[in-house]
Structure 1
């Protein structure tokens, strides 16, 4: 197996339980992929996702791979409110966790009568899209006739526009035409941007993303998401999965028309070939040695469209105030301009900034300090539509923009600052969006099985796309394909 990301480890644990001998080769020094951590002076921060929105994925993994459930290994609970939102016009609203009625009431109170009802009705249409696409999109291997998922599952309203009847095709159009309040449209656009999607072009089916969050809730693991990664890693070890860290894979070995092993690169093992009956690639195309595992007519990766994430880790003196929201989103006054910058290789003047302030003693040295994380979706590192994130001046300018945006949330942020650490897409890579139906299949990801028998793809760049929950789903799909072969019809 190539890579020790969350999807690869989810597949490894399931395969080991099914009787396979599994060895994972990871080029870095640790497990977890994008689910990383940074520690200094008693402070600890997640450097990847800060919340989990579909915990059932990892609960199922632990149920299928051992007796001890996930909740016996980590302390996990819903954050409430799920999120606080500050809009450019000064509107401030906190949305309760996993309560559609509560969200409707909160939006009505903050945005005016009718706003909550429009959002609730929109979520009802998003639920219809979920029911239509959930299983083939998330729980089954990508069909050979994947083109059927190119049909738009979101039942957009028919509206009179420019002298003719039209339906919203993009998420931005859903927000502008159906929600009828620029703040609700901003709420929707910001959700898409957080997942690495351009709301101006993402299909209307991206409505599934806020639906999933508000239906299944926002969950935090004590110790951060890194604690979840550690729990999955330890479950792999318990099932006798072997890990080889610092081992870069140069390519996949083909023999008799199928994948037959790996060739290692660099170090004392450089050039050594490791035999294997099956190969699972969880590190994108970098470990395939130039091999392209798809053929004409297959879904191709859309990595060139994926943005990055800019993160500022703040060590603050002073206690976290009682009643502080775990997650606050400070919205851009113009998400269309922000998206144009992010996907056009520029720095947004006023980006959407997420402020994470966990109530977790393990993240700080004591009760009179606080660990805060600021994040924004930004252009990726390098490439025709990227930025040079190794430029120190650019890094500092972007960090200052995020800190300034966070001042309405933490007014004394500069006075309390002990130190800060900056992470850019140059260090953390790209944000791989989840797969979406609609738009002719443009937002699907490559199938987990490939044109080369014995070679499988797992993780954010493969079906069903990126995100912590989706990675766990990809691991279940790959394990099912290997264990059950052509008879596998999807997760149960």
Structure 2
């Protein structure tokens, strides 16, 4: 704990901002969180309507140890705040040719599913799992758990791993040659799709693993093979749901933060980050002084942690006097992640053939990503995701009803697409496509809709200020993305830090919580240095 706590302001009460606030408060700092929206959570949010509850953001918990560790930092038990429920079937997959594939929590049952598709792919799954585990052990330390250093620092981390394993003990029991191969696999120039094809013969299995690139808003045909660690972290611990809905995380973290003395204001918009003038003669960077609110208040502090999008923060919250055009150009060149088109449908009928999580795969997966990242138009033949939380938690809808969260990947915002004009017709297209799958009867879905909301990329921009309406910050399509993602410290302004999906280590609940831990360590070292 710090000998003397400092005043820290956190802009944004998303999961990353709340995580940073909890870590900082646990270190003895005085933390003030400012949230523009009426409730905390950021993109992990909630719409309640006519007795239906719809989580509007992340729908699956992976890496539950990260959540548990966050509560432990504050001297609390996760179980006193949240109830984690394991999903026996993490997701059910429906393919165009009639195949139904259950992604079982039990890895042996899952291996048998792969063997049912292709006799050799059951053993291929076991080999791929071990391969992905080795990549995770090699890459997790530099890419997930610590601030993104220079390429030289990352190289040193990898070299230390090859020689000794990690300080946590990960990989220490592996032969040196195996650790070396794991590092080479993590740094491979292959794409995720190419990596998967080295193991699996069946196209259903290949499409299953390719989908994991969408967990960070990217394309499996462009993202690097190191992201094989994404399916690993889901498969090793399985998927989880939280009793009462995913938004219960935001409620629990808000409660924990307040218990630690964090002050939190909602409906509170930050207009400017206040900094000292650039000191040209000494070549020192300007330094954070505080923030200016939309209501005219000026709050002084020792450091600012921005849970707002990194690109949006540089463009809108920093004065032109301290902005570096070179940095703005660099950030502008970084490709946003994809966005999403979402239907929230409350129905007066249940659809028992659906699992909690469901994927309806298209029959031309590569064409989807051409539409997304090359043409940047709504996908003509999309894969469709449906989450039916009532399968696990009936309290999320009236009795005998269903709350369906239906998501299709969508391109980030450009001037080409007018979503207000496109949304109604695209809704009809998605409902038509769902009705065409023969494995489950959704032909009468329209007739049973009793309440509805539509979210488009425009909503993600307007509500959360996410760059170009992206939902994962930046894509990882560039092979150097693990090295070029914006770091957690501002390159222009002393004592300005970044947390959340648009910065290191990336998007998704566990990673943004880890970014909160990383930032808290950086802030603590700086203000007490």
Alignment partner of 2:289: what SS? Answer: strand
Displacement of 1:3: 0.8
Gaps of 5+ in 2: 1-9, 159-180, 278-285, 461-468
* Contact 2:216/2:337 (8 A) holds in 1: no
The whole-number CA distance in structure 2 between the counterparts of 1:80 and 1:415 is 31
Q: Give the helix-richer structure, 1 or 2.
A: 2
In structure 2, the residue matched to 1:381 is 413
The whole-number CA distance in structure 2 between the counterparts of 1:248 and 1:481 is 25
Residue by residue, what CA displacement relative to the aligned partner does 1:391-426 show, whole Å, maximum 9, x if unpaired? Answer: 2xx112222232233333443423332232211111
Displacement of 1:357: 1.2
* Contact 2:216/2:506 (8 A) holds in 1: no
- Structure 1 stretch 179-188 or stretch 199-208: which is displaced more? 179-188
Residue by residue, what CA displacement relative to the aligned partner does 1:133-184 show, whole Å, maximum 9, x if unpaired? Answer: 1011111111133684799967559xxxxxxxxx861112223444222212
Displacement of 1:441: 4.2
Residue by residue, what CA displacement relative to the aligned partner does 1:90-134 show, whole Å, maximum 9, x if unpaired? Answer: 11110111x33221111112x121122223322222111111110
Alignment equivalent of 2:395, drawn from 356, 362, 370:
362
Instruction: Say whether 1:306 aligns with 2:337.
Output: yes
In structure 2, the residue matched to 1:160 is none
Instruction: Say whether 1:462 aligns with 2:503.
Output: yes
Instruction: Say whether 1:119 aligns with 2:125.
Output: yes
> Please, what TM-score do these two structures have when normalized by structure 1?
0.87
In structure 2, the residue matched to 1:243 is 264
The whole-number CA distance in structure 1 between the counterparts of 2:325 and 2:454 is 37
In structure 1, the residue matched to 2:112 is 105
Gaps of 5+ in 1: 158-166
The whole-number CA distance in structure 1 between the counterparts of 2:528 and 2:137 is 24
* Contact 1:119/1:184 (8 A) holds in 2: no
In structure 2, the residue matched to 1:277 is 302
* Contact 2:13/2:35 (8 A) holds in 1: yes
CA 1:119/1:436 → structure 2, altered by over 3 Å: closer, same or farther? farther
Alignment equivalent of 2:347, drawn from 309, 316, 322:
316
Residue by residue, what CA displacement relative to the aligned partner does 1:229-269 show, whole Å, maximum 9, x if unpaired? Answer: 1100111111121122222222222227311111223xxx2
The whole-number CA distance in structure 2 between the counterparts of 1:328 and 1:209 is 18
The whole-number CA distance in structure 2 between the counterparts of 1:302 and 1:61 is 34
CA 1:154/1:106 → structure 2, altered by over 3 Å: closer, same or farther? farther
Alignment partner of 1:382: what SS? Answer: coil
The whole-number CA distance in structure 2 between the counterparts of 1:474 and 1:308 is 21
Alignment partner of 1:30: what SS? Answer: coil
CA 1:126/1:433 → structure 2, altered by over 3 Å: closer, same or farther? farther
Alignment partner of 2:11: what SS? Answer: coil
> Please, what TM-score do these two structures have when normalized by structure 2?
0.81
Alignment equivalent of 1:396, drawn from 413, 424, 428:
424
The whole-number CA distance in structure 2 between the counterparts of 1:23 and 1:218 is 33
In structure 2, the residue matched to 1:76 is 84
* Contact 2:215/2:508 (8 A) holds in 1: no
Displacement of 1:360: 1.2
* Contact 1:153/1:437 (8 A) holds in 2: no
Instruction: Say whether 1:25 aligns with 2:65.
Output: no
Alignment equivalent of 1:471, drawn from 482, 495, 512:
512
In structure 2, the residue matched to 1:286 is 312
Instruction: Say whether 1:483 aligns with 2:524.
Output: yes
- Structure 1 stretch 399-408 or stretch 146-155: which is displaced more? 146-155
* Contact 2:85/2:241 (8 A) holds in 1: yes
In structure 2, the residue matched to 1:163 is none
Instruction: Say whether 1:440 aligns with 2:460.
Output: no
Alignment partner of 1:305: what SS? Answer: coil
The whole-number CA distance in structure 1 between the counterparts of 2:191 and 2:494 is 37
CA 1:334/1:146 → structure 2, altered by over 3 Å: closer, same or farther? farther
